[in-house]
Amino acid sequence: MIVMKFGGTSVEDARAMKNVIDIVTQERGRTPLVVVSAISGATNTLLSAAELAVDGKIEEAINSLNDLYERHILVLENLIDTRSTVQQLLLETRRRIDELKHLCQSIAVLGELTKRSLDAIASVGERLSSFILTEGMKERGLPAVLVDARSIIITDDHFASATPLFNHIEEKAKATIQPLIDDKKIIVTQGFIGSTTKGITSTLGRGGSDYTAAILGSVLNTEEIQIWTDVDGVLTADPRIAPAAKKLKILSFREASELAYFGAKVLHPSTILPAVKKNIPVVVLNSKRPNSSGTQIVANPPKSNVAVKAIASKKGITVINIQSTRMLMAYGFLESIFFIFSKHKTPVDLVSTSEVAVSLTIDNTARLERVVTDLEEFAEVTVYDRKAIVCIVGEQMHSTAGVADRIFHALGNINAMMISQGASEINMSLVINEADANEAVKRLHAEFFEPVPEMELFESVGAA
């Protein structure tokens, strides 16, 4: 059994949905459980309609719901041929959109919008897309069955970012899903949505469909989880910066997590943690190019001789240098520094220390002034903005001699003002001037990947 999750762009229109049905048909032999997102943009439209309503802009809210209705009608009319099915779907879609309009009207009257209502409203996106997709599958002869995720994904009541209750979910999944699987049915369910133990609709937070896929894969112990999206997978670098970038066929969960910070927007690693913990491979695939092999993310990939797997960079970094003679031989100094960052809710990314100074980086400067004022109570503070972090990632880096040498050699005249080799030892991060960031990535990519060190690990982008 496998889980196949399709994101919003994979079901954005009738053509995309047909494509999804073809992909699922090909995997039929592996008993797929399909997790589907709302059609692209639907969740945003639903949430903004609710916001418009609470601001009293009810007409605008209704208009955007009408647009959403039209989009769904277009999808279903172009996907389904059987007149009676189209009729049934039209009625049901209209009924649900009408319900939303009433809800928005009440919100406008009350002038109050709770997270609980937002979840109820947002859930309609996935409920409609899954309904249409299931009918499309049935019409093409697949034994599809729609299972409402709210009957399985049981969560706490922290609406808008609810926590799944694994024990409940496991019980429900085994009771509901297993018999259907045994019956060789193809189950379709919604990503992102769930319900509390009291049966009230909740959501796992934005982008939560990947999480749903991993949760279901883990409680059902599936052989694989496929995340179908609109990119080929994880690349060795941003191809806009390094045009020779290749796709990685496999990487470790830890490598994927490091890269996520740098905006490798493929998926958020924390969402697939339940799968990784159970050693279930997660494969990221491109529904626009289904024959490309994708990127597999696993807990422990087979050892390879490739030390460096990817180069990433992030601009807009600010370095804060904190210097104080009080640090010398004192304990509690770092604690007092980090207390200030936590008090002002400012995450710190890289840290490097010497006997008398601490340098650290932040990328959110919204509360920088307050942080600096507090730090200046006991230290000398210097702020450097317009910096970038360049990160070199690879599980085998620490056990390969000469990597650092190659990095600095490749960088040549680009000066690093801060260097941090993570304790995790799977990355080296360098802080450089923002203006040098692209050139640094290009040079490092040329050094480590042009030509690629071991072809089995990589695939050209646009191949297949």
Residues in 19-58 at the binding interface with ligand ASP, rule: CB under 6 A:
37-38, 43
Cβ atoms of 454 and 408 within 8 Å: the answer is: no
Measure the CA–CA gap between 207 and 272, rounded to whole angstroms: 12
Q: Which positions ≥6 away from 116 have C-beta within 8 Å?
A: 157, 159, 200, 202
* CA 328 centroid distance within chain: 42
Stretch that binds Mg ion, among 4-12, 24-32, 222-230, 342-350 (CB under 5 A): 4-12
Residues in 8-47 at the binding interface with Mg ion, rule: CB under 5 A:
8
Contacted entry of Mg ion, ligand ASP, none for residue 32, CB cut-off 5 to 8 Å set by kind: none
Contacted entry of ligand ASP, Mg ion, none for residue 239, CB cut-off 5 to 8 Å set by kind: none
Residue number closest to ligand ASP, CB atom: 209
The yes or no reply on residue 233 touching ligand ASP (CB under 6 A) is no
Name which of 8 and 301 has its Cβ closer to Mg ion: 8
Nearest approach, Cβ of residue 7 and Mg ion (Å): 5
Cβ count near 199 (within 10 Å): 9
Name which of 189 and 420 has its Cβ closer to ligand ASP: 189
Residues in 158-217 at the binding interface with ligand ASP, rule: CB under 6 A:
191-192, 206-209
Nearest approach, Cβ of residue 41 and ligand ASP (Å): 8
Contacted entry of ligand ASP, Mg ion, none for residue 271, CB cut-off 5 to 8 Å set by kind: none
Contacted entry of Mg ion, ligand ASP, none for residue 38, CB cut-off 5 to 8 Å set by kind: ligand ASP
**Buried/exposed code over 416-446 (b: 16+ C-beta within 10 A; e: otherwise):** bebebbbeeebbbbbbbebebbbebbbbbbe
Cβ count near 363 (within 10 Å): 16
Q: What is the CA radius of gyration of the chain?
A: 25
Quote the strand ranges of 159-212, DSSP E: 186-190, 193-196, 201-203
Measure the CA–CA gap between 356 and 15, rounded to whole angstroms: 62
Residue 251, by phi and psi: left (phi above 0), alpha (psi -120 to 50) or beta?
Answer: beta
Query: What spatial distance separates the first Cα and last Cα of the chain, rounded to whole Å?
Result: 26
CA distances (Å), origin 405, targets 150, 305, 411, 451: 54, 17, 10, 19
Nearest approach, Cβ of residue 175 and ligand ASP (Å): 25
Nearest approach, Cβ of residue 20 and ligand ASP (Å): 14
Identify the three-state secondary structure at position 364. Answer: coil
Name which of 129 and 361 has its Cβ closer to ligand ASP: 129
Measure the CA–CA gap between 451 and 41, rounded to whole angstroms: 39
Of 7, 32, 194, 233, which lies in the binding site for Mg ion, with binding defined by CB under 5 A?
Answer: 7
Contacted entry of Mg ion, ligand ASP, none for residue 316, CB cut-off 5 to 8 Å set by kind: none
Nearest approach, Cβ of residue 38 and ligand ASP (Å): 4
CA atoms within 13 A on the CB side of 111: 0
Question: x-or-dash pattern for ligand ASP, window 99-128, by CB under 6 A?
Answer: --------------------------x---
- Copy the structure tokens of residue 331: 């304990």
Name which of 211 and 333 has its Cβ closer to Mg ion: 211
Name which of 32 and 191 has its Cβ closer to ligand ASP: 191
Measure the CA–CA gap between 27 and 34, rounded to whole angstroms: 11
Name which of 5 and 445 has its Cβ closer to Mg ion: 5
Kindly state the number of chain residues that form the binding site for ligand ASP, as judged by CB under 6 A.
12
Nearest approach, Cβ of residue 420 and ligand ASP (Å): 32
Q: State the pairing for strand pair 282-286/224-229.
A: parallel
Name which of 125 and 194 has its Cβ closer to ligand ASP: 125
Contacted entry of ligand ASP, Mg ion, none for residue 193, CB cut-off 5 to 8 Å set by kind: none
Residues that bind ligand ASP (CB under 6 A): 7-8, 37-38, 43, 125, 191-192, 206-209
